Chain A
Amino acid sequence: MPLHQQWFGGFVFGGKIHPMQLNLALAQINTTLGDVQANLDKHLSLIAEAQKGDADLVIFPELSLTGYVLQDLVPTVSHRSTNDDLVFKQLLKASQDVDLVVGFVDEDSRHRFYIASAYLSGGEVLHVHHKVYLPTYGLFDEGRFFAWGDSVRAFDTRFGRMGILICEDFWHASPPYLLWLDGADVLLFASASPGRGLNDSEKLESARWVENVNRSYANLFTCFVAHSNRVGYEDGLNFWGGATVFDPNGERVAQGPYFEEALTIATLDLNQLHRTRARLPLLRDERTALVQRELARIIANER
């Protein structure tokens, strides 16, 4: 172990000292459809509970402040992640003590509504991700009610660089890949994933799919992948929970229960990044210029 890590109990990155461990709390909650105040109250009580468990970061699922199948409720439940917003004022205050990822409907200054997740830390908004892939097929109708996000960006936190994606975003391979290249070592995934595909397996097809790809991203990108998925029902839809954290070796570090509210706490040993990437330098060897060149050719040929 390098000397500075022994001395500081952390590693130095970009001139800042980062802790070696991250206590992650995955809050797989049920929500009240369209009742932001009721959901906020639940957030605040779970944040308090997570703090008792020494959590450094609490991750709430997709649209955790509003519920999922909002339809015509969308314009009535939107908020801005600023200190003059009554809901975010309380969440930002709570983030003085513990970092938070919360899901909400973001209304921009031009009154477009986005499915959003915000990273709050030390009373500040470090990052807001707008969902870039809105499923509008099968049982989903997000594109009818929401605007499409238009960026995938990693951001720095006191635990290192991270990235946020929301549900369908990581059903596509490119957003996690972009976050990886943009420096994210911890991928934070938030979902409101309706359970479907009952067969003879002990898990629903949708749950197996998500767990398989999350493990694969951890393997492919030699990074941490944490997934917080809601539970409960909205009309006939069930949400299956089952929060997971995979480490840079693709090993499951934590597993929440299925179909029940829970706060799953996982301790991430951030030095695992060092050990895995020393063994398996996939990031070092990634040929981004080649990807760019070939993508440019493919896109040009599509026209």
Chain B
Amino acid sequence: MNVDLTINPDLARKILTGFIKSEITRVGFSRAVVNLSGGLDSSLSCALAAEALGPENVLALCLPYRTSSPESLEHAQMVIEQFKVRSETIDITDMVDPFIRRDPQMPDIRKGNIMARARMVLLYDQTEVFNGLAVGTSNKTEILLGYSTLWGDSAAAMNPIGDLYKTQVRQLARAMGIPSAIIDKPPSADLWAGQTDEGELGFTYEEVDKLLYLLVDQRYSPQECVEAGFAGHFVEKVVNRIRRSQFKRMLPPIAKVSNRTVGYDFLYLRDWGT
């Protein structure tokens, strides 16, 4: 089955830069902070923020750990120079290692979560220093699969790219002139050596984006996806991931006891009054 995820990059760019500008300026800010890993998603968010707000109003934070690939930092530097944003590099090793040393048996997943949350702490601290808001870097694929650390890399004040699948992020990144070394490398959270998204997930973005598009955007049933040619075990795995990660896509539910409860019947947009 031919599933076409092609987007018009000019239109996407117009909507997403307008969104960043609107959501930052309407609450009295003019600046943004982005955690820039040197990967594709954060490079695109950084470039969009620079175009929306002017590069002098964007702070790119590079937060390497001692095991981070040197290539990541080089790629981040390429983006900083190309889009002329401000930057700050803070090595998180000294902050993260005391946590990790507390448990010599600590598995990689816990280490990765600690790193992601340390980066979140620094991101939010720098928003205070730079007087800006945190711009998110999660794409639609990883949001739907729950492939993120809760309150870690998923934390931000707004997210311009969260409705673009990874393969669509690539298209827009190419149109915005993100270096091809960043677009073409295997996506990785770079939390430990040799880690890749596709290795961890067990499927490629190319495959899963098409399946997610049918399941989510086109409202196909899992059975219809199988009939459309996707392997049954793959469809089942993805459907389960979506369901099990729903908690990552929402604020914690509040136990309702009163007549009016935040999250249920106290309903206002974030943009209330602006």
A interface residues with partner B (beta carbon < 8 Å): 32-35, 69, 71-73, 195, 198-204, 232-236, 238, 258-259
Quick check: B271 and A259 within 8 Å, CB to CB?
A: no
Taking chain B's interface residues, is the majority helix, strand, or loop, or is none over half, making it mixed? loop
- In the complex the two chains form, is B22's CB within 8 Å of A71's CB? no
Which residues of chain A are within 8 angstroms of B158 by Cβ–Cβ distance? 236
Q: Which residue of B lies closest to A258 (CB)?
A: B14
Q: Are A238 and B15 in contact (CB under 8 A)?
A: yes
When chains A and B are docked, how far (Å) is the Cα of A61 from the Cα of B267?
23
- Residue B18, interface by CB 8 Å: yes
Q: Point out which of B6, B15, B19, B272 has the most chain A C-beta atoms below 10 A from its C-beta.
A: B272
Residues B268 and A71 in contact, CB atoms below 8 Å apart: yes
Decide if A73 touches B19 in the complex (CB within 8 Å). Answer: no
B67 within 8 A of partner (CB)? no
Verify A238–B8 contact, CB threshold 8 A: no
B269 and A71 contact, CB distance less than 8 A: yes
| CB of B103 within 8 Å of the partner chain | no
With contacts A32-B273, A200-B6, A233-B19 taken as known, whether A72 is within 8 angstroms of B14 at the C-beta atoms is: no
B residues at A contact (CB < 8 Å) = 4, 6-8, 10-12, 14-15, 18-19, 22-23, 158, 163, 265-274
> Chain B nearest CB: distance from A148 CB in Å?
20
Contact of A235 among B6, B12, B271, B273 (CB under 8 A): B271
Q: How far apart sit A296 and B6, CA to CA, in the bound complex (Å)?
A: 47
* Sample of 9 A–B contacts (CB below 8 Å): A33-B273, A72-B267, A72-B268, A198-B8, A199-B6, A199-B7, A235-B23, A236-B158, A238-B15
Inside 8 A of A195's CB, which chain B residues have their CB? 15
Supposing A198-B11, A199-B7, A204-B11 touch, asked if A238 and B18 sit within 8 A by C-beta, the answer is yes
A residues in contact with B11, CB < 8 Å? 198, 201-204
User: Do A233 and B7 contact each other (CB < 8 Å), given the known contacts A33-B272, A73-B268?
Assistant: no
Nearest neighbor of B171 in chain A, beta-carbon distance: A200
Q: How far is the CA of A72 from the CA of B271 in the complex (A)?
A: 13
Residue from the list A34, A35, A259 in contact with B15, Cβ < 8 A: A259
Residues of B within 8 A of A33 (CB): 269, 271-274
Please, how many angstroms separate the alpha-carbon atoms of A259 and B12 in the complex? 12
Report A-chain residues with C-beta under 8 Å of the C-beta of B267. Answer: 71-72
Q: Complex: how many Å from CA A169 to CA B158?
A: 32
A259 and B269 contact, CB distance less than 8 A: no
Residues of B within 8 A of A73 (CB): 268, 272
User: Which A residues are in CB contact (< 8 Å) with B163?
Assistant: 236
CA distance A71 to B263 in the complex (A): 12
Q: How far is the CB of A195 from chain B (nearest CB, A)?
A: 7
Q: Give every chain B residue within 8 A of A259 (Cβ-Cβ).
A: 14-15, 18
**What is the distance, in angstroms, from B216's C-beta to the closest C-beta of chain A?**
13
Q: Nearest Cβ in chain B — how far from A64, in angstroms?
A: 16
| Residues of the A chain whose Cβ atoms lie less than 8 Å from the Cβ of B7 | 198-200
